Amino acid sequence: MCGINGFNWNDEVLIKKMNEVVKNRGPDDEGFLCEDITLGHTRLSIIDLSPRGHQPMANEDDTIWITYNGEIYNYKELREDLIQKGHLFKSKTDTEVIIHAYEEYGLNCIEKFNGMWAFCIYDRNTDKLILNRDRYGIKPLYYYMDGQRIIFSSMIAGILCHNIETAQNDKAIMEYLAHNLEDHDTYTFFRNIHKLQQGNMLIYDLGTKRHDIRKWYNPVPGTIKDEDYIRKIFSGSVQWRTVSDVPVGSCLSGGIDSSAIVCLLDRVLQERFNTFSLIVPGNRIDESSYIKEVGKKTDTQQFYITVDTDDFIDEIEDFVRAQEEPVTELSPYAQYRVMKLAHENNARVLLDGQGGDEIFAGYIYYFGYYFYELFTGLKWLTLVKEMVLYAYNSKNIYPHALFVFLLLPGFIQTFLWKTCMNRWIDHSFLKKVCGNSSDPRWKKMNLEECLKMTLFSTAIPHLLRFEDKNSMRWSVESRVPFLDFELVESALSLPSKEKLHDGKSKVIFKRAMHSILPEMIRNRTDKIGFGTPINEFFRNEKIVKFCEVIVNSDSFKNRPYWKWKRVEKMFRDHVKGRKNAGKEIWKWINTEIWLRMFFDKGNAS
């Protein structure tokens, strides 16, 4: 994994500054090209560790240049095909495969790649820059344009090295605070800084300074498959993601997804490997017993870490700086701790379970949309059965409440949301910056529509951002087997009853993992996943004092986003145990620290 940077003029000093900012993404090597355009690169060496992997990299006659972040898992097969077609290689890197694939197939080369990537190709023959991002946006790519300039980087901080016109994006802030939305559109929390959407390419004409953004990927659902096929394709995905010239390990939460990855890794790897986990000793959400059960079944060395109050106070600013934009809850900080643990134990490549819930329907709210699908499909007996069995299995009726909410007219949904849930929000300011837009998850939709929405808009994009920023902060490459495009497209072809059935989730995947997962884990009905006891955490004496200083500060009081008196009352009620508001407190604190870090101190113009 690496950091990439660039812009459409010549400035060696500036590209070195950008490279320095993204150095944590690639501490092993650094390079730049300064001509009519400037490209920069910092390298985390994973494949072909030799100097031949140095970037920016060019073809034989220096007409095609690339700066690239990612991994193409099928690069060896593509390389052999390109050699047969007459292409000459000077390295064993996947980077050079991209260059020659572009020479051979043009822009269509990306359809041949199985992997994760963000890259910029400079084509001297056409005088164009081509920015491209993988199918699901596993690797980030940000850009700024003002009519004369284009600037791009793996990190927002790289773009902030330039003298640009930016400020906090109040629309993004309010959607985050009010609806828990982020990374669902092209805009970021920084005005005028955008992200290239997943499965998109941006072509910039250096002569005319015009650009064109094209969507190159739309999932194509395959034919309906059974659990044997799912097992085969998922096992293959895990094996693809062991392609590396450095040791491979895995995150392990103790849930179904990460446990399945670790158990399959144990079958693929010839040597013992490491796993890294968060534990919460003595708390009801602690998953130590499940983690240890996986350890009994596999040849792994397990490492553990906790969320500690003193560490949190010491690390919170570094975490906020690493993420670059606010995050929705405390669990990404827990993931940051896990990645730090991996770094301290010399890990370079980790597999992780992002995507499993979004393609196989693992979250409890998916049942609400399934209930709606059954209701509108007039399958009322099945609806009653599913509602009863879910409540019996999970001792939870959240999906039932969501189902009723989906049936309501939009104006009643908005009224209930304003009066019952988010009274601390300044709704007049929300309307000013967001208009009458509402949470897209309030839309009446079936399960398939909801899964696609969470895959491409409301869940996976920000979860991948958390994953990338946390792992890259500690120079660790994270790989996500559930987002193999063949697996995703196969999962999208499945009927709803293969995902949710008899009040249970992910049914076909659980069947597929029979004899692979320990039964104790395969039969789990709860979901935690690097969970943190957020309400208890924000009642800890040290954390309360830390938060009090922020909540009572003049800058916090004067923000236009919230009604301070209600915020202060909610905070007090939470501390005294009268109500739980841990998630809200986190968002207030995160937002305020982020504003101070990037704007109040003049870190952005």
In a domain, 221, yes or no: no
* In a shared domain, residues 425 and 467: no
DSSP SS3 for 130: strand
Domain count, the chain: 4
pLDDT for res 225:
78
* In a shared domain, residues 336 and 374: no
pLDDT for res 526:
77
* In a shared domain, residues 56 and 74: yes
Q: In this structure, what are the phi and psi dihedrals at residue 4, rounded to the nearest 5 degrees?
A: -120, 145
User: Mean pLDDT, 10 residues at a time, over the chain (605 residues)?
Assistant: 95 98 97 97 94 96 97 97 96 97 97 98 98 98 97 98 97 97 97 98 98 96 86 97 96 96 96 96 92 96 96 98 97 97 97 97 97 98 98 94 96 91 93 94 97 97 98 98 96 96 97 96 78 92 98 98 97 97 98 97 44
In a domain, 316, yes or no: no
Cα 573 to chain centroid, rounded: 33
In a domain, 486, yes or no: yes
* In a shared domain, residues 109 and 231: no
In a domain, 605, yes or no: no
* In a shared domain, residues 44 and 139: yes
pLDDT for res 422:
87
Domain termination residue (choose one: 522, 550, 570): 522
pLDDT for res 530:
64
Encode pLDDT of 30-49 as tens digits. 999 999 999 999 999 999 89
**Would you please indicate which residues are annotated as catalytic (active-site) residues?**
2
Domain termination residue (choose one: 474, 496, 522): 522
In a domain, 309, yes or no: no
* In a shared domain, residues 418 and 485: no
Half-sphere exposure (Cβ direction) of 206: Cα atoms closer than 13 Å: 21
pLDDT for res 575:
98
Domain termination residue (choose one: 433, 456, 479): 456
* In a shared domain, residues 101 and 147: yes
Encode pLDDT of 543-592 as tens digits. 999 999 999 999 999 999 999 999 999 999 999 999 999 999 999 999 99
* In a shared domain, residues 270 and 207: no
* In a shared domain, residues 48 and 140: yes
In terms of Cβ atoms closer than 10 Å to its own Cβ (0-12, 13-18, 19+), residue 191 is middle
* In a shared domain, residues 38 and 67: yes
- The structure tokens 């993992």 sit at 513
Residue 147: give its domain's CATH number. 3.60.20.10
Structure tokens at 169: 């994006």
* In a shared domain, residues 350 and 399: no
Closest CA to 253 of 583, 532, 534: 532
Range of the domain at 441: 366-456
Pairing state between β 115-123 and 64-72:
antiparallel
pLDDT for res 603:
38
Q: In this structure, what are the phi and psi dihedrals at residue 33, rounded to the nearest 5 degrees?
A: -125, 125
pLDDT for res 236:
97
In a domain, 528, yes or no: no
In terms of Cβ atoms closer than 10 Å to its own Cβ (0-12, 13-18, 19+), residue 300 is buried
Do 358 and 459 contact (CB within 8 A), yes or no? yes
If you count them, how many residues does the chain have? 605
In a domain, 542, yes or no: yes
> Which distant-in-sequence residues (6+ apart) come within 8 Å of 278 by Cβ?
253, 304, 305, 306, 307, 334, 335, 337, 338, 530, 532
Q: In this structure, what are the phi and psi dihedrals at residue 119, rounded to the nearest 5 degrees?
A: -150, 165
**H/E element holding 548?**
helix 541-551
pLDDT for res 350:
98
- Cα 188 from Cα 324, distance rounded (Å): 10
- Cα 226 from Cα 239, distance rounded (Å): 20
* In a shared domain, residues 137 and 209: yes
